[in-house]
Structure 1
């Protein structure tokens, strides 16, 4: 049986895979994707075991669709049936999949798994943002030990539970990698046809940093995302910054230049970011 496109709206499904001939081969239940399974209680008030994870369909039977929906999403399905055409189309727009929320994570476990692209790991993390731990060891001056000792003394702790100084570096790399990956996912969204860059400068601990923010609208929501802050020396760093930014942006989202609409700064004559804007515009 060939998949009927009208089923997507009628039974709240989304196409997830197509064959080389563009035929639909797999769909996902949108109620499962965004709401999870409805809790079901037996006659004595005990929760019955429910299927974990969203339901995918690879064969087409309207009876099977209805059986799943009425057994796992009875209340949601009843409300969905009462909505008009436009209401059904807008129901799932802008929602975050349950698998991407903290509610879905098993925070009692020891491991959280993330999938990262090779560009994120090899270019952003390894080449651009971090140096190997052994290269930093000679410059460290045991500051991590001093910091940990200070925290222990301040809060009267025997030890810092759950993490040690050998784990900090990998954790930071993972956090940056996942964040960069999410920014790339936003840029790659079909709903995003344009974005803008904002250049600015900031000061921290007597050092000047060049800040780059990415502004884009996704499904009716405006995002102002901080991408990177780089140490900035106006007279010597311009070419290096342009090369680094282009490499970073290409690793985050390869077609970034196709969606770049404007580049702006606050325009203050005394702001170093204003001087940098022209140079980075040339690079873009």
Structure 2
């Protein structure tokens, strides 16, 4: 497995895979876990090699404290990737390599999907995501890129980015991988105390119960019930719970036949922000 920190060296290493072979790409911010490995395994099954980028992108953080505390575990990440069978390239650049010492996000017109949920609560987040992915896509030039559905809104943003930038890459969404207590796997989970980790199982438990209630209760009733669950928690605080159209991501107040819906949630355990979502039908 090769580890590259410069764009030129990675581009050179990928040259043998440019003709008649497929290149897969899994962009990450490191602190890898089983969810990331699942993405890489899926990519290896469909491609001749996979590039895994490890880069904590500063332009997608609206909270500098969160950026500073984000776990950085490159050596451990590489050891995890070495357990996989297949050709993997690790791209772990410094910010100056990607941004040429001008660490500023480009402004994108992603449309209304960027203004809902995460867009409301994390100012400029999706511009930062779009900026770094556009740079990485142009360096790696993958045939397909793989993203977890835990960040479902981001997945839709990435699909829009590819359209805007006219990038010839297939965007593949992959199922959420969960901890034993149901918590969606995330690099941020490493920052949780034992008590916070155990309490955070409430997030997925609430989503799965909301899915059952969606069959027979109104959205107002479900919203009220979710609020009550978090009001009763001494560890977690609810930032938002929303039921939205799965395509437009617009929050809905009542169901309409023929539409698909997802429930989205964000909650804090101390200063650690956790998100999750589930398809409702």
Task: Establish whether TM, by shorter chain, passes 0.5.
Answer: no
**Higher RCO, 1 vs 2 (CA within 8 Å, ≥6 residues apart):** 2
Tell me the TM-score normalized by structure 2. Answer: 0.25
